[in-house]
Amino acid sequence: MEIKQTALAGTLESSDVQITLSQGQGITIDLDSSVADLYGDQIKQVVKDTLATYDITDAQVKVVDKGALDCVIKARMMAVIQRSLDTVDQPNWEVL
């Protein structure tokens, strides 16, 4: 699928993550996290897996992590993807 617009999901509160998704070439992930040394690879994998579920192959992702769990990262990714695809009123229930 192709990204139609830049979108944002999440907050900068503790235990949350803010994700910005925009058009790009290939998948690029810019991760800003105080725990990137320990969990950076896992955070990026959750992002990549969620993008793959939606068949998105070209995207620029900015992730600002404040200690979010994997389930929170996935939920924020799903929200930002649906916003960027302009399908907010038509959720893809299969990825849940």
pLDDT at 91: 66
Strand, helix or coil at 95?
Answer: helix
Cα 23 from Cα 84, distance rounded (Å): 9
Cα 63 from Cα 28, distance rounded (Å): 11
pTM across the whole model: 0.90
**Beta strand residue intervals within 6-96, DSSP E:** 7-9, 17-22, 27-33, 59-65
Mind listing the pLDDT tens digit of every residue in the chain (96 residues)?
889 999 999 999 999 999 999 999 999 999 999 999 999 999 999 999 999 999 999 999 999 999 999 999 999 999 999 999 988 777 666 665
For 12, which DSSP code? S
Cα 49 from Cα 51, distance rounded (Å): 5
**Beta strand residue intervals within 49-95, DSSP E:** 59-65
